[in-house]
């Protein structure tokens, strides 16, 4: 995106200096070079700094043009030692995607589109996107929804331009079948004429993908991609669908966490803002059935919320070691006294089915909100020692 | 009265007399710094006082001197009142002009509304550009701001190549006070576009933050609203990992960006950089920050940069317990008198060379010509104009 399309209400071309800067948002190297060429005359882009009043430091633009002339390159392109090669020193423009509001916020309903795929296709797709940093951090549900939302796009003939350099980009593509050539025209956009695509820079085969920047925001395409053979097939995913899938699931999970946290007596005095911060720090973990999530006698470092599945607490020395002292289902929590102290766990908690838990480490809690004791002291827990004891069967007596 | 007639004639876009007036005013300003003595021609000025805050403004109340900067969909112009007493007319302002069709096309309606509202809410902070007024006409939205004459810190940084630690500390300290105000005193405003391009210098070398185009009021202690937001926005080199991954982000993104900014101050370039933005994003989410051998960067500076640029938000300085107060206690800021910073007791390390109040020599020159115009049709008016009614 650039500001070139802007038309001001003051009307056209009233640049008071009668000289347009060629390059406003782009290549700063070029800009600096231009200034150097212009040094002998007074360039409007290099105002005569240094003649101002009371400079503490020497003017950043050098003191005067004659001096600048003597040292031929005193403020030339800073490509010298220590600078990253080809670093662009120009002004950087902002980027922005369309604003998205989670539907959880409103009354609309949104479900991601599902385009059915064979298990083979799914497996190939999974492989194709697995190495991509935009997908690698997705959880299972998100990944499944994203895979489902990819839509098949047959490209029947050779020579079809799937994306055009310089055009707006809204889709990301995975190549299912066939191959595609990538061309880059150095002008930044597709030009008319036979060579308008510019030279070919590479080829993408089945399993490859292109156009991922479009999943972040609408930026002009950096290349033209054209089918290199007949009968190609692509999978396409648009930005809004992709971002929505991520947003809706994250939003829903955070609200769920906040809801759970609200039920924890130890944390009842947290403000919504603080609960939200804690929700940020919760880590989701999955365990198979029969897994010992916390072990009696171990020092406690974490607190758990049960997101799905069931679990039970067992205590040695109870009447029957195999009879649980407590059952946990979705929304229940255990081990929260670990937030208070390092006392050994008073019971073991074992998953009864596959479970998903959200784990909060004591240290993360303290980093974000300080010691729990401080939080508790805010309200009703002041001095009510037994209240604390009652809260966690794992710490009893 | 005569002035009103002149004004209404001057409003239509592209009308020649206004343009000519602007040109002459600007040229006059160039050759003759004592601009108070010259009057934009072709006008019958009455001496009736003109107070920009006293009534709804129109673009005809101003003449353009020159463009100060352009952004994605806005142009910011140095302007002067076109009428009023001599004193009124000698004042200068920065007028941010947004074309409604562009705002709609780029899906920035929400952002523009937040910008106006938040600028209004944060008025009077020492390090934030002062909002004066807003207005609109058929095609444009306008935000009138105090003119900040020193130009972008970006320009100075590129010219100096890098700042020494004292300079970086000075600017960083002022920014800490801005973030403290936005995040904590204003109840959860995320700024979301921290970078040297958006930091201007005033006449004494202090920072003024501009461009609240992405600022958003999130929930806070009192409101029961969610405190995170999901729209990806910012500047590639400065985006926080949680923004790239669409995890829902909070005011913590500004602390990340401050880390990037201090790095760029001290080295002259940001820690994550590539010609291809996708590669920048990959680095941000996957790579640790690496410091160059040269220039030497102190351990305290390295530490504060690493603590701000921490992917885990439960460890990110500024976001963790203590918030901005904790930031202020970091060894990098050892010896900083925060009260003195807030009250601007010392001048900044760079004093912009400003010759007279409306001097714009610290700004780059931008082409004034304008490209294609999409018409703001009646359909669009019907559909969207209500969203702009606050202007
Ligand atoms: N009050 C002011 N005084 C002087 N110059 C200003 C002022 N406000 C803005 N500018 C100049 O205009 C430039 C563009 O303004 P701004 O960043 O608000 O526009 P934008 O279109 O929102 O930009 P972006 O695309 O970077 O978000 C600024 O970087 C600055 O150089």
Co-location of B114 and B239 in the same domain = no
Closest CA to A162 of A128, A121, A209: A209
Chain A residues lying within 8 Å of B59, measured CB to CB: 9-10
Condensed to tens digits (0 to 9), the pLDDT of residues B167-224 reads 999 999 999 999 999 999 988 899 999 999 999 999 999 999 999 999 998 865 455 5
Q: What is the pTM of this model?
A: 0.81
Nearest CA in chain A to B229: A101
User: Model confidence at B278, in pLDDT bands (50, 70, 90)?
Assistant: very high
pLDDT score at A9: 54
**How far, in Å, are A177, A275, B116 from residue B216 at the CA level?**
44, 20, 11
Query: Which is the closest atom of ligand 1 to the Cα of B213?
Result: 22
- Separation between Cα atoms, residue B133 and residue B112, nearest integer Å: 14
In a domain, B99, yes or no: yes
Closest CA to B237 of B213, B267, B217: B267
H helices of B11-99, in order, are 16-31, 86-89
Structural domain containing residue B120: 45-149+358-376
Chain A residues lying within 8 Å of B97, measured CB to CB: 8-9
pLDDT of A114 over the 70 cut: yes
Chain A residues lying within 8 Å of B353, measured CB to CB: 49-53, 55, 59
In a domain, B21, yes or no: no
Lining ligand 1 with CB less than 6 A are A 93-94; B 68-69, 71-74, 76, 94, 96, 129, 145-148, 152, 197-198, 200, 210-211, 213
Co-location of B137 and B277 in the same domain = no
Model ipTM value: 0.81
pLDDT score at A10: 55
Torsion over CA: A165, A167, A169, A175 (sign): negative
Closest CA to A201 of A220, A170, A226: A226
Average pLDDT over residues A264-276: 82
Distance B216 CA to ligand 1 centre (A): 17
In a domain, B16, yes or no: no
* Residue B78, SS3 per DSSP: strand
Distance B200 CA to ligand 1 centre (A): 9
pLDDT score at A47: 30
Average pLDDT over residues A210-239: 95
Residues 279-318 of chain B whose Cβ lies under 8 A from any Cβ of chain A: 281-282, 285-286, 292-295, 313-315
Residues forming a β-bridge with B77? B67, B95
Provide the domain count of chain B.
2
H helices of chain A, in order, are 28-37, 65-70, 119-130, 140-149, 239-262, 272-281, 362-369, 372-377, 385-391
Determine if the peptide bond prior to A310 is cis (ω within 30°): no
Query: Which is the closest atom of ligand 1 to the Cα of A1?
Result: 25
Give the range with max mean pLDDT: A52-61, A271-280, B81-90, B224-233.
Answer: B81-90
Condensed to tens digits (0 to 9), the pLDDT of residues B131-152 reads 999 999 998 999 999 999 999 9
Angle (nearest 5°) at CA B141 between B14 and A95: 105
Distance B72 CA to ligand 1 centre (A): 10
In a domain, B390, yes or no: no
Q: Which percentage of chain B shows pLDDT scores above 70?
A: 85
Condensed to tens digits (0 to 9), the pLDDT of residues A305-353 reads 999 999 999 988 766 667 888 899 998 999 888 888 778 898 899 999 9
Co-location of B208 and B138 in the same domain = no
pLDDT of A75 over the 90 cut: no
pLDDT score at A104: 61
Strands B189-190 and B216-217: antiparallel
Least confident of A64-78, A152-166, B98-112, B350-364: A64-78
Kindly state the tokens that stand for A254.
């955070």
- Separation between Cα atoms, residue A225 and residue A98, nearest integer Å: 25
pLDDT of A66 over the 60 cut: no
Kindly state the tokens that stand for A220.
């002009």
- Separation between Cα atoms, residue B56 and residue B121, nearest integer Å: 19
Cβ of A21 and B367 within 8 Å? yes
Identify whether B193 is a catalytic site residue: yes
* Residue B215, SS3 per DSSP: coil
Q: How far is A270 from chain B (nearest CA, A)?
A: 9
In a domain, B174, yes or no: yes
| Residue ID of nearest Cα to ligand 1 atom 7 | B94
User: Model confidence at B234, in pLDDT bands (50, 70, 90)?
Assistant: very high
Q: What is the DSSP string of A80-94?
A: STTSPTT---S----
pLDDT score at B353: 94
A210's enclosing H/E stretch is strand A209-210
Co-location of B275 and B198 in the same domain = yes
pLDDT score at B375: 84
Cβ proximity of A340 and A388 under 8 Å: yes
User: Model confidence at A56, in pLDDT bands (50, 70, 90)?
Assistant: very low
| Residue ID of nearest Cα to ligand 1 atom 26 | B71
In a domain, B257, yes or no: yes
Cβ proximity of B148 and B22 under 8 Å: no
Co-location of B174 and B282 in the same domain = yes
Cβ of B245 and A47 within 8 Å? no
Co-location of B302 and B195 in the same domain = yes
| Residue ID of nearest Cα to ligand 1 atom 1 | B147
Kindly state the tokens that stand for B6.
């002149």
Q: Is B273 on the interface with A (CB under 8 A)?
A: yes
Angle (nearest 5°) at CA B287 between B286 and B288: 130
Cβ proximity of A271 and B221 under 8 Å: yes
Distance A330 CA to ligand 1 centre (A): 50
In a domain, B235, yes or no: yes
Catalytic, out of B88, B193, B211, B359: B193
| Residue ID of nearest Cα to ligand 1 atom 16 | B211
Residue B197 is part of a domain; what is its CATH number? 1.10.510.10
- Separation between Cα atoms, residue B276 and residue A213, nearest integer Å: 9
Nearest to B65 among A16, A219, A251 (CB): A16
Least confident of A242-246, A298-302, B20-24: B20-24
Q: Is B17 on the interface with A (CB under 8 A)?
A: no
User: Model confidence at B245, in pLDDT bands (50, 70, 90)?
Assistant: very high
- Separation between Cα atoms, residue B28 and residue A304, nearest integer Å: 71
Co-location of B184 and B313 in the same domain = yes
User: Model confidence at B25, in pLDDT bands (50, 70, 90)?
Assistant: very low
Measured from the Cβ of residue B162, the count of other Cβ atoms closer than 10 Å reads: 18
pLDDT score at B46: 60
pLDDT of A397 over the 90 cut: no
Q: Is B96 on the interface with A (CB under 8 A)?
A: no
Co-location of B86 and B159 in the same domain = no
Q: Which percentage of chain A shows pLDDT scores above 70?
A: 71
Nearest to A15 among B159, B220, B368 (CB): B368
Least confident of A126-140, A244-258, B209-223: B209-223
The pLDDT mean for chain B works out to: 85
Condensed to tens digits (0 to 9), the pLDDT of residues A5-23 reads 344 455 433 332 223 333 3
The pLDDT mean for chain A works out to: 75
Cβ of A78 and B158 within 8 Å? yes
Residues forming a β-bridge with B69? B76
Least confident of A53-57, A337-341, B196-200, B293-297: A53-57
pLDDT score at A319: 61
Co-location of B201 and B326 in the same domain = yes
User: Model confidence at B228, in pLDDT bands (50, 70, 90)?
Assistant: confident
Residue B64 is part of a domain; what is its CATH number? 3.30.200.20
pLDDT score at B335: 94
Kindly state the tokens that stand for B105.
């096309």
User: Model confidence at A379, in pLDDT bands (50, 70, 90)?
Assistant: low
- Separation between Cα atoms, residue A366 and residue A320, nearest integer Å: 37
In a domain, B61, yes or no: yes
pLDDT score at B74: 87
Least confident of A220-234, A272-286, B24-38, B114-128: B24-38
Q: Is B102 on the interface with A (CB under 8 A)?
A: yes
Torsion over CA: A336, A337, A342, A346 (sign): negative
Co-location of B216 and B175 in the same domain = yes
Co-location of B53 and B161 in the same domain = no
Co-location of B160 and B297 in the same domain = yes
Average pLDDT over residues B310-327: 94
């Amino acid at each position: 995106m650039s500001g070139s399309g802007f038309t001001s209400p003051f009307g056209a071309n009233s640049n008071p200096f009668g000289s347009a800067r060629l390059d406003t948002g782009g290549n700063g190297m070029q800009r600096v070079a231009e200034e150097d060429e212009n040094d002998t005359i007074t360039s409007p882009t290099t105002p005569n700094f240094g003649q101002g009043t009371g400079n503490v430091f020497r003017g950043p633009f050098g003191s005067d043009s004659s001096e600048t002339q003597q040292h031929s390159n005193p403020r030339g392109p800073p490509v010298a030692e220590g600078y990253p090669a080809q670093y662009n020193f120009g002004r950087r423009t902002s980027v922005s995607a369309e604003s998205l509001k989670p539907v959880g916020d409103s009354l609309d309903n949104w479900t991601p589109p599902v385009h059915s795929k064979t298990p083979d296709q799914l497996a190939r797709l999974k492989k194709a996107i697995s190495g991509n940093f935009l997908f690698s951090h997705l959880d299972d549900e998100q990944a499944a929804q994203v895979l489902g939302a990819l839509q098949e796009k047959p490209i029947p003939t050779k020579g079809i331009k799937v994306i055009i350099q310089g055009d707006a980009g809204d889709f990301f593509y995975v190549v299912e079948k066939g191959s595609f050539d990538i061309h880059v025209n150095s002008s930044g956009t597709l030009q008319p004429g036979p060579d308008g695509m510019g030279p070919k820079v590479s080829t993408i085969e089945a399993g490859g993908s292109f156009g991922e920047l479009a999943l972040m925001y609408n930026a002009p395409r950096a290349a033209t991609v054209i089918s290199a053979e007949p009968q190609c097939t692509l999978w396409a995913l648009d930005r809004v669908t992709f971002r929505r899938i991520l947003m809706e699931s994250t939003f829903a999970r955070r609200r769920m966490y906040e809801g759970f946290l609200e039920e924890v007596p130890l944390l009842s005095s947290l403000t919504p803002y603080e609960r939200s911060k804690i929700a940020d720090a919760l880590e989701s973990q999955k365990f198979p059935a029969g897994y010992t999530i916390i072990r009696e006698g171990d020092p406690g470092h974490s607190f758990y919320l049960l997101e799905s599945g069931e679990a039970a607490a067992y205590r040695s020395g109870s009447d029957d070691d195999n009879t649980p002292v407590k059952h946990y289902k979705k929304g229940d929590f255990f081990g929260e006294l670990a937030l208070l102290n390092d006392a050994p766990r008073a019971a073991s908690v074992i998953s009864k089915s596959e479970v998903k838990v959200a784990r909060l480490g004591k240290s993360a809690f303290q980093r974000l909100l300080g010691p729990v004791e401080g939080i508790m002291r805010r309200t009703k827990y002041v001095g009510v020692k037994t209240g604390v004891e009652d809260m966690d069967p794992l710490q009893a007596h | 009265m005569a002035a009103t007639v002149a004004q209404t004639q001057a409003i239509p876009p592209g009308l020649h007399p206004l343009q000519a007036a602007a040109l002459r005013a600007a040229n006059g300003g160039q050759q003759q710094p004592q601009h108070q003595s010259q009057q934009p021609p072709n006008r019958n000025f009455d001496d009736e006082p003109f107070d920009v805050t006293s009534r709804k403004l129109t673009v005809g109340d101003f003449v353009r001197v020159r463009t100060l900067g352009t952004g994605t969909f806005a142009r910011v112009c140095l302007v002067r009142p076109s009428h009023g007493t001599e004193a009124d007319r000698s004042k200068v302002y920065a007028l941010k002009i947004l074309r409604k069709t562009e705002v709609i096309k780029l899906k920035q309606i929400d952002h523009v509304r937040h910008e106006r509202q938040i600028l209004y809410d944060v008025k009077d902070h020492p390090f934030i550009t002062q909002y004066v007024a807003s207005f609109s006409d058929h095609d444009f939205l306008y935000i009138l701001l105090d003119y900040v004459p020193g130009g972008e810190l970006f320009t100075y940084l590129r010219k100096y190549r890098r700042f020494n630690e004292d300079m970086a500390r000075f600017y960083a300290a002022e920014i800490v006070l801005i973030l403290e105000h936005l995040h904590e005193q204003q109840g959860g405003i995320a700024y979301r576009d921290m970078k040297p391009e958006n930091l201007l210098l005033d006449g004494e070398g202090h920072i003024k933050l501009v461009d609240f185009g992405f600022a958003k009021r999130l929930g806070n202690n009192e409101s029961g609203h969610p405190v995170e937001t999901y729209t990806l926005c910012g500047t590639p080199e400065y985006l926080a990992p949680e923004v790239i991954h669409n995890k829902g982000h909070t005011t913590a993104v500004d602390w990340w960006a401050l880390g990037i900014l201090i790095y760029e101050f001290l080295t002259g370039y940001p820690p994550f950089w590539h010609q291809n933005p996708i590669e920048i994003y990959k680095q941000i989410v996957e790579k640790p920050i690496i410091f160059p051998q040269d220039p030497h960067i102190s351990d305290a500076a390295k530490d504060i940069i690493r603590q701000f640029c921490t992917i885990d938000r439960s460890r990110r300085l500024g976001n963790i317990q203590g918030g901005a107060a904790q930031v202020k206690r970091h060894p990098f800021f050892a010896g900083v008198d925060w009260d003195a910073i807030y009250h601007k007791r010392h001048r900044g390390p760079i004093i912009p060379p400003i010759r007279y109040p409306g001097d714009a020599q610290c700004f780059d020159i931008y082409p004034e010509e304008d490209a294609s115009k999409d018409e703001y049709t009646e359909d669009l008016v019907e559909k969207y104009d209500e969203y702009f009614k606050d202007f």
